[in-house]
């Protein structure tokens, strides 16, 4: 059976490449998606890659992943710091969840330093820039196979 990995991206990540490049770099979300698709092909897995600025949409997609994915990678972005709804949805998933951040949130300002969604994640990757998505994809495959 082919592994299925879902990558979800939260608010403002559609602006990667232009938004605060000194923090997030110049790589666009489209370029990150292309990197992930290429790595997914090499790994022989099915990849779903989505972005929304709306909390409820992300909750719906996490719930959908209960049936459509073997593992979830999520960059909750700003929702990392405030969304109990995402925490609850991630806890209900019952599958490996990797929380991902392009920047090192632990080195950021107080507002961006403490992720509440991390409490529902199997693992957290942060500070690797766009490559963090590839690292998360590799880790998700490992965790999904481990079962």
Angle at which helices 131-146 and 29-43 pack, to 10 degrees?
A: 40
Per-residue confidence (pLDDT) for residue 61, from 0 to 100: 98
Per-residue confidence (pLDDT) for residue 136, from 0 to 100: 98
Neighbours of 132 (CB within 10 A): 21
Catalytic hit among 22, 54, 79, 101: 101
**pLDDT by position in tens, the chain (length 147):** 799 999 999 999 999 999 989 989 999 999 999 999 999 999 999 999 999 999 999 999 999 999 999 999 999 999 999 999 999 999 999 999 999 999 998 887 777 768 999 999 999 999 999 999 999 999 999 999 986
**What are the backbone angles phi and psi of residue 140, rounded to the nearest 5°?**
-65, -40
| Domain 4-146 top-level CATH class | alpha beta
Catalytic hit among 24, 79, 112, 133: 24
The DSSP code for 71 is E
Question: 41-69 burial, b if ≥16 CB within 10 A, otherwise e?
Answer: eebebebbbebbbebeebbebbeebeeeb
Asked about 114 being catalytic, the answer comes back as: no
Separation of alpha carbons 122 and 134, rounded Å = 17
Asked about 24 being catalytic, the answer comes back as: yes
71-75 β-sheet, strand order: 46-51, 4-9, 71-75, 97-101, 123-126
Q: On the CB side of 76, how many CA atoms lie within 13 Å of its CA?
A: 32
Of 56, 72, 52, 53, nearest in space to 120 by CA = 72
Listed by start position, the domains of the chain span: 4-146
Per-residue confidence (pLDDT) for residue 107, from 0 to 100: 86
Which tokens go with 106? 């632990």
The answer to whether the beta carbons of residues 47 and 5 sit under 8 Å apart is: yes
């Amino acid at each position: 059976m082919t592994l299925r990995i879902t990558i979800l991206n939260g608010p403002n990540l559609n602006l990667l490449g232009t938004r605060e490049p000194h923090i997030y770099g110049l790589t666009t979300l489209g370029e990150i998606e292309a990197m992930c698709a290429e790595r997914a092909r090499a790994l022989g897995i099915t990849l779903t890659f989505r972005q929304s600025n709306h909390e409820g949409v992300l909750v719906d997609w996490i719930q959908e992943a209960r049936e459509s994915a073997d593992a979830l990678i999520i960059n909750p972005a700003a929702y990392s710091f405030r969304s109990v709804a995402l925490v609850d949805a991630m806890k209900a998933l019952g599958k490996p969840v990797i929380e991902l951040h392009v920047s090192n949130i632990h080195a950021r300002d107080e507002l961006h330093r403490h992720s509440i969604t991390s409490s529902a994640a199997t693992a957290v990757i942060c500070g690797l820039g766009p490559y963090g998505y590839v690292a998360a994809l590799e880790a998700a495959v490992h965790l999904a196979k481990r079962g």
